[in-house]
Amino acid sequence: MTRVIGIVSGKGGVGKTTLVSNLSYVLTELGKDVTAVDTNLTTPHLGLHLGFHMVPKSLHDFLRGDAKLHEVVYYHPYGFKVIPAGLSVNDLIGINSDKLQDLTVNLLGKTDFILLDSAPSLGREATLSLKLSDEILLLTNPNIPAVLDILKVAKVAESLNKNVLGVVVNRINRKGNELSTSEIEDTVKYPVIAEIPEDINVQKALAARTAIVDYNPKSVAAVEMRRLGHYLVGREFTYGQGFWEKLFGWFR
Ligand code: ADP
Ligand code: MG
């Protein structure tokens, strides 16, 4: 059965595309067939994160009726599939975003995971990603505006009867200026299922058009991404036996 997971947030720039990109690697490593879709149609970045920014046909061409679905599915060397959106402002002309539903329906049964990289907030575009998802990952940074904004998104997800899996807190720096995990859980009323630290390697990985799990697999951020991937498939995470892993575990 295909699981359609929406990676959503209230605020922009919290790390949704980063998470989709990393989970694509991690779930593939775990033996799953993964299709990552850029449903952020106005400011798409998934292609940039994964090296599919110069493609002949994009999701926008499909939504305009100028391309068949198979023409906009790209195969990443790592083994997962990516449906990137077009980067040009002209790509927005003449598209019918309701056709996104045809896309997810067409992929059902053909892949294990459809990861939807969403637009932020609760506009039409972001709400469409919520509607297309069965399960939701709420992504936030540990600050009050970002957390208040996912609270709203969580409410809308509930009203649409979606299965909210929990909260992923990204860019934690532990310098004492942040909301704690329990404060976030008390506010949002969903469990925090992953805590990903601020890590400059995440940005270095982006510059190299890859994900931190690939670029720097031993970094704490990469380990947390893998932990989350294991959680999503209900598999035990056994990392933590070696010296470096123990040291990193201590820092957590
Ligand atoms: P969104 O998709 O929510 O708008 P992105 O995934 O594009 O956010 O991330 C925004 C920026 O933050 C990118 O430059 C990304 O490299 C950076 N970033 C994301 N997560 C981290 C992290 N854990 N540590 C450092 N930089 C991060
Ligand atoms: Mg993004």
What is the b/e burial string over 178-192, where b = at least 16 CB atoms within 10 angstroms of the residue's CB? bbeeeebbebbebeb
Residue type, 38: D
* φ and ψ of 118, to 5 deg: -100, 160
Per-residue pLDDT 10s for the chain (252 aa) are 999 999 999 999 999 999 999 999 999 999 999 999 999 998 999 999 999 989 999 999 999 999 999 999 999 999 999 999 998 888 888 888 889 999 999 999 999 999 999 988 888 888 999 999 999 999 999 999 999 999 999 999 999 999 999 999 999 998 888 999 999 999 999 999 999 999 999 999 999 999 999 999 999 999 999 999 999 999 999 876 565 655 655 555
Q: How far is ligand 2, taken at its centre, from the CA of residue 20, in Å? A: 9
Ligand 1 proximal residues by C-beta, below 6 Å:
9, 12-18, 45, 170-171, 196, 198-199, 202-203, 206, 221
pLDDT at 93: 87
Q: How far is ligand 2, taken at its centre, from the CA of residue 43, in Å? A: 7
Nearest CA to ligand 1 atom 9: 15
Mutation pick for ligand 1 pocket among 203, 210, 224, 252 (CB with most ligand atoms within 8 Å): 203
Atom of ligand 1 nearest to the CA of 200: 25
pTM of the model: 0.94
Give the span between the Cα atoms of 141 and 168, in whole angstroms. 8
Atom of ligand 1 nearest to the CA of 199: 24
pLDDT at 249: 56
Q: Which of 19, 104, 11 is nearest to 59 (CA)?
A: 104
* φ and ψ of 58, to 5 deg: -125, 180
Q: What is the pLDDT of residues 107-135, one digit of tens each?
A: 999 999 999 999 888 888 889 999 999 99
Q: How far is CA 15 from CA 39, 63, 140, 153, 203, in A?
A: 15, 25, 8, 16, 11
pLDDT at 226: 96
